[in-house]
Amino acid sequence: MAQSARRVSIGLVQINNSFSGQSYLPYSVGCLEGYVRRHSAKPEDYEFLLPVYKRMPVRDAVSGLLGCDVAGFSIYVWNARISLEIARRLKAAQPNTLIIFGGPHVPDQTEPFLRENPFIDIAVNGEGEKTFLALLEALPARPWQDIPGVSFISADGKFIQTLKPPRIKNLDEVPSPFLDGVFDPLMAANPDETWIGLWETNRGCPFQCTYCDWGSATAAKVTKFEMDRLLREAEWFSQNRIEFIFCCDANFGMLSRDATLAEYVGKLKQESGYPKALSVQNTKNATEKAYRTQKILSDAGLNKGVALSMQTLSGDVLKNIKRDNISLETYLELQRRFARDGVETFSDLIIGLPGETYDSFMDGIDLLINSGQHNRVQFNDLSILPNAEMANPEYIREHGLELVESEIINIHGSRVELDDDVPEIQQLVVATGSMPREDWRRVRAAAWMTAFLHFDKLFQIPLILIHETTGIRYRTMIETFMGVDARNYPLLADIRDFFLSEAASIQRGGAEYTYSEEWLGIYWPADEYKFIDLTVRNQFGRFYQESCALMKQLAAQQGADLPADALENAVQLNHALLKQPFITDDATLTLSADVLTFWTDARQGAAPRLIRKPLTVQVSRAKAHYASLSDWCREVVWWGNKKGAYLYTNQIVEMQLAGHF
C-alpha cells in the first residue's frame, strides 16, 4: 500500500444509537476527517468513504468498508462490542486493512485489550486528531514507535505503548466538520434521515469524579473553541434544520460566554424554528453563571427542564467519589431560585455509590424533595466506565462493589431486532460494602416508589399537604408505602412487590427497564410501567382509596393532626387532575379547602397556608384529549417524563373565604 501509487481509502466508524427515528451526526470521526483534510501535506492522497454512523447488521457495515485501506473506529460503552465484531470480520476478509481503534473506551491499560482483540493493529490513547494524521502519513513504512499516543503489538509479539502527546492547546487547529462540509456527502446520501447534532464548545473537565470518564478528559484543564466558529456552527444547525443538539461540554455555564451562546441559539430558534432543543450538562459550582445560562435556555424553550445533577447528598460519599469540592448548597440554591421563577428542574441521584447506605440515600431523597424538588429526580443505576477511576480493581475491592453484566437498554428505547447484531453490555453495581444486596433492592424499589407517587404526580398533592401541615417526612411516607400490609392494602402491596421484583431482576443481570410489546413496544421505567398498568386496569379509584387510608393510618401513628377533610380534598384533586386516555369532557369538583393554591405555593417555594374556603375547580380535560392508549402512553407518560406534565390544567372558578385551618 504505497501512497505514491494510489489514494489511501479510509473508512471511519462511529456508531451511535438512534432515537425516535433520529440519528447522531458522527462528530468524533468527522473531526478526524476534517483534520486530515486541513493539515495533511497532500490531502489529495486520501479518499474517505461515507462513515458508518448507526447500528445496522454487522455484515452490512463490513460490506460498506470493503476495499478500504484504513478503518478507524471511535468507541465508547454504547458501541464497543459491535465495533469490535465489525473490525474482526473486516480483518478476516481483508487482512491488509489497517485497523485503528480510538475513543474513551480504549483502556488506558491497553495491552490486555490488544491481545484479546488481535485484529486491532493500533490503539490510540488520548485525543485522536493529530495522532490519526500521523498514522496515515507514516504509511507505508509504519514506524508506529515514533508516533506519540499509540499502543500496538509488534511483529515479534512485544507490547509497545508510546507517551501521550500534549493535549491540543489551540482547539481551532481542529476544523469544524459542520462548517468545512465534512458531513455534506453523508447528509446528501441519506436525505430521509433526521439528524441530531453533537456540539463541542470546549474540551476538558476540572473535576475528577471517580465514576466519570468524560471523553477521557477528567481532571483536565478546559480548552475552548473560538467564539466566532461556535456562532457560525449554531447558524449551521439552524440552516440545516437540526432539531436537537446535544452539547458535549462537561460543564456548560462554567464560562461567561456560555450565556451568550445560549442567547444566540435561542435567537436562531425564534427566527427559524431551529434548533428546537439544546441539551447541556450543567456546570457544578458557578451558581450565578449556571442560573443565568439555564434561565436563558428555559425562557427560549430550548430545554425540558434544568438538570441539577447532585448524584448524592452524603458528604462521606462525595469524598469517596472525589466530588467533595462541589458544593451541594450550589445545587439547592439553584433549585430554590428556579422554583421561585417557575422554571422546572430535575435532579440526578446515583444508586450504589461507594459509601452510600440505605439510610443516607433515603435521607437524600427526603432532603431533595423538602428543598423544593417536586418535578423529577432521575434515579440512575451506577455503571462502571472503562477508564474511570472506579474501574480500578483496587477501588472495586476497597469499596466492596459487586458487579453484574447487563445489556444496555435506553430509557424509552426499543430493541431493534437486527438479524446480525451484537448487543452492548455494561457493568452495573448491584451492591457495595455499605449497601448489601438486600439494601440495594430496597433502595432501587423505594426510588421507583418515590418516582411513582411524587414525580409522576400520582399522589404528589397529598404528600405535600401532609408534609407541610404535619411535618411528617417525605422519607417516612415513602417507607410507609414500601411497608404496606398486603391484607389491608392489596393494590399498594402489588405495586411494591413489582418494584422489588424488578430490582431483583437487575441484580441477576436483567434489563434496567421493563419492556412492553403492547405499550409502544418500548422499555419503560418500572414506575411508569405501573402508571400505565393501573390506567389499563382502571385501578386508580382503588389506588386513591388505599393510599388515603394508609396516610390517615400513618398520621394517627405519628400523632399528627391533619386538618379536617384536607387529605380527602387533596386526594380528590389529585385524582381529578391526573391525565388519562379517552376522556373527552371537562370536570368540575367542589372542595372545602383551597388545597390547589396550597399545593401550587409549595411547589413554587412559597410558604403555603391552608385556608378553609369552599371552592369550585374547573379541570380542563377536553383540550388534552387522548383518543388511544398509544397516544396517551407516548404524549403523557413518555414525553411528560422530564417535564412532569402528567396533570391537566385547572382554574378556580368560584370560592368563598371562610377562614384558616
276-335 confidence digits (pLDDT tens): 999 998 877 667 888 889 899 989 999 877 878 788 999 899 899 988 766 778 777 888
Place of cell 458535549: 248
Task: Please enumerate in sequence order all residues whose Cβ is within 8 A of that of 63, keeping only pairs 6 or more positions apart, or say none.
Answer: none
604-623 confidence digits (pLDDT tens): 888 899 988 888 999 999 88
The backbone torsions φ and ψ at residue 301, rounded to the nearest 5 degrees and listed phi first, read 70, 25
Grid coordinates representing 465 are 399537604
How many whole angstroms separate alpha carbon 363 and alpha carbon 316?
13
Question: The whole model's pTM is what?
Answer: 0.91
351-398 confidence digits (pLDDT tens): 999 999 999 999 999 999 998 899 889 999 999 998 899 999 999 999
Q: Judge contact between 229 and 179, C-beta under 8 A.
A: yes
Task: Give pLDDT, residue 3.
Answer: 43
CA dihedral of residues 572, 578, 581, 587 (deg, nearest 10):
50
The region of weakest confidence among 187-201, 251-265, 280-294, 625-639 is 280-294
The region of weakest confidence among 97-111, 196-210, 228-242 is 196-210
In the chain, what's the furthest Cα-to-Cα distance? 93
When pLDDT is cut at 50, 70 and 90, the band that residue 661 belongs to is: very low
Task: Give pLDDT, residue 1.
Answer: 43
Q: What is the mean pLDDT of the chain?
A: 92
What order of strands is seen across the sheet that includes strand 587-591?
587-591, 615-620, 649-655
Q: What percent of the chain has pLDDT over 90?
A: 74
Specify the pairing of strand 402-407 against strand 425-431.
antiparallel
Average pLDDT on 232-241 reads 98
286-302 confidence digits (pLDDT tens): 678 888 898 999 899 99
202 three-state secondary structure? strand
How many whole angstroms separate alpha carbon 321 and alpha carbon 307?
20
391-427 confidence digits (pLDDT tens): 999 999 999 999 999 999 989 988 666 688 899 999 9
Task: Give pLDDT, residue 286.
Answer: 62
How many whole angstroms separate alpha carbon 321 and alpha carbon 347?
18
Amino acid at residue number 193 = E
Average pLDDT on 52-63 reads 96
The string of DSSP letters for 69-124 reads SEEEEE--TTTHHHHHHHHHHHHHH-TTSEEEEESTTS-SS-HHHHHH-TT--EEE
